[in-house]
Structure 1
C-alpha cells in the first residue's frame, strides 16, 4: 500500500550508501526520488523540476544542510525541507531550531516517512518560501 507522500522527493546526502538506501526506501513505497550527493548539486537542480519535498543531510563537505536551506530561501524555492543527521549534537539542534527547520536522526525508516513529510508541511519555518 503506497504511503501518502509527495510524488517527487529530493534526497541530499554525501554518503552514497545512505543516499541509495533512502531513495530505495521512497521508491519501494511507489514514489519518485532524485538523489544529490551535495548541497551544490541540489541547488543546481532547482532550475529543473520542482520537488514536492526535500530530505537534506546536515553534515556534508562544503555547505552543510542549514547553509543549503538558507540558499534555497535565497532562490525563493517553495518546498518543505526536513534536515536529517547521523550526528545529532546540541550545536546542530540549536542551529536547526534557530532557522526553524525540523531535524530528525538517521537512519530513516519507511514507517517514519509520512510523519516526517506531514511535520515538514505543517511547519511554516521549515518551508522554504
Structure 2
C-alpha cells in the first residue's frame, strides 16, 4: 500500500470518517481512494490538493512525503508557534462539528428563552399596573 494512501487512511480515521465518507468530504467520486487502497495504485494530483485544502491542519509535507509532524503548529495570538496539546490532537473534525451543532442548538434555546423572559416581564408589568390600579380605587 502506498505510504501516501496509508496517511490518507490515517486522516480519515482521525476525522472519524470511512474512506468513502472521506472521498465525499473532499468532493471526490466514490472509490477514488478506496480503489487506490485496494489496488495499491496512485490517485490524481487534484485529489491531493483537495485533501490539503479541505484539511489544512494536516501538514502537506507529512501527507505527501511522510516527513515532519502530522499536524501543523497552531499560531498563537502573538504569532508565536505553539503545538496542539495531546488532548486537542485527539479531537476530530467530526467532534468539532458535533460541538458546533450543540452550540447552535443551545443558542436557539437561549434565544427562545430570552423571548419567553421578555413576554413574562411584560405580563408581570401589566399585572403590577393592574394591581396598582385596583389599589387606587
* TM-score normalised to structure 2 length: 0.22
Name the one with the larger helix percent: 2
Name the one with the larger strand percent: 1
Which structure has more relative contact order (CA 8 Å, sep 6+)? It is 1
Bigger Rg, which one: 2
